[in-house]
Structure 1
Amino acid sequence: MSISMSPRDREAFLAERRVGVLGVADGRGGERAPLLVPVWYAYEPGGDVLVQTGRETVKGRLLLAAGRFSLCVQDERRPYRYVSVEGEVAAVEDPVPPAVRDALAHRYLDPDEARGYLAATAGQLKDDLLLRLRPQRWRTADFSAFAADFPAPGAATGSDA
């Protein structure tokens, strides 16, 4: 039984509003593990993954140096599902287009919160850049079919022992 998602399902899952965990190689020397950080992102099926970050942040500098990154999103509710995508940075927009920044804020926040957030962080526009990841490799899992073979926690098993 395969737990992999179809291309259509994985793209639909990635397009849903979730917080992603971005991973990028940490080339600062020594035996460092990859940098992993939660991020807001945007994705539409068939397109690029969009991530905004500060140009001078550790994350921003590592992303520009590596030229590639991965993003993992999950649904931690049962049955568990996840999509991980990796690829090259296809484009860097510096600074972030205001419309993209606005769309990201409205994707993750209620309208009033988004307006307040955008007003409070307006200065970031000059400090941030937008990275476009072109998906090249996907890893997915949807445990729905697998979980269907097992009773739900607390469910009767049919025995009267």
Structure 2
Amino acid sequence: MGYTDAPSGWWREFVSATPARTGKLAVVRKDGSPHVSPVWVDLDGSTIVFTTHLESVKGRAIVRDGRISLCLDDETPPFAFVTITGRAEIVDDPEQVRYWTGRIGGRYMGAERANEYAERNGGPGEVVVRIRDAKIVAKVDVAE
């Protein structure tokens, strides 16, 4: 893991906090220009997990160039953030896709809606993305 001025393990609590924070995922388009999009995330141990469709801008960029960066932040003073940079690992197993789309949907929209999100987002072309070889930067009390 990378630099952090936050207490050990703090970044995991920050990423998995309730209410859930939306991540901002950065990828590089084919022409070299940057692309940032919101993603819902969860943790599998110390691994960041999100889902996307392979035909989305981010999906195509991840397939072509697996380097990604993700930022989650707290916009309330004194502010805090976590950035995770690494390589994307794509998992297209339908059971895993359904599991993670349900789990992540339930995390953001309420457990009672998990099955709805698994049905809605767990279809063909959707994949699970895990961030491997992650470098973490975590900072608390930015404006203190």
What's 2:7 paired with? 6
More strand by share: 2
Maintained 8 Å contact 1:15/1:44: no
* Structure 1 alignment gaps of length 5 or more: 148-161
Maintained 8 Å contact 2:101/2:117: no
Between the two proteins, what is the percent identity of the paired residues? 23
Maintained 8 Å contact 2:106/2:112: no
What's 1:157 paired with? none
What's 1:24 paired with? 27
Change (3 A) 1:117 1:14: closer
Larger radius of gyration: 1
Quick one: which amino acid aligns to residue 41 of structure 1? V
What is the CA–CA distance in structure 1 between the aligned matches of 2:111 and 2:136, rounded to whole Å? 32
What's 1:159 paired with? none
What's 1:155 paired with? none
SS of the aligned residue for 2:106 comes to helix
Q: Does 1:74 align with 2:73?
A: yes
* Structure 2 alignment gaps of length 5 or more: none
TM-score, L = length of structure 1: 0.74
What's 2:100 paired with? 100
What is the CA–CA distance in structure 2 between the aligned matches of 1:38 and 1:135, rounded to whole Å? 21
CA RMSD of aligned residues (A): 2.2
TM-score, L = length of structure 2: 0.82
Maintained 8 Å contact 2:25/2:69: yes
Maintained 8 Å contact 2:48/2:131: yes
What's 1:127 paired with? 125
Maintained 8 Å contact 1:48/1:135: no
Deviation at 1:117, TM superposition (A): 4.1
**Count of aligned positions:** 137
What is the CA–CA distance in structure 1 between the aligned matches of 2:100 and 2:118, rounded to whole Å? 12
Deviation at 1:41, TM superposition (A): 0.8
Maintained 8 Å contact 1:95/1:127: no
Deviation at 1:88, TM superposition (A): 1.1
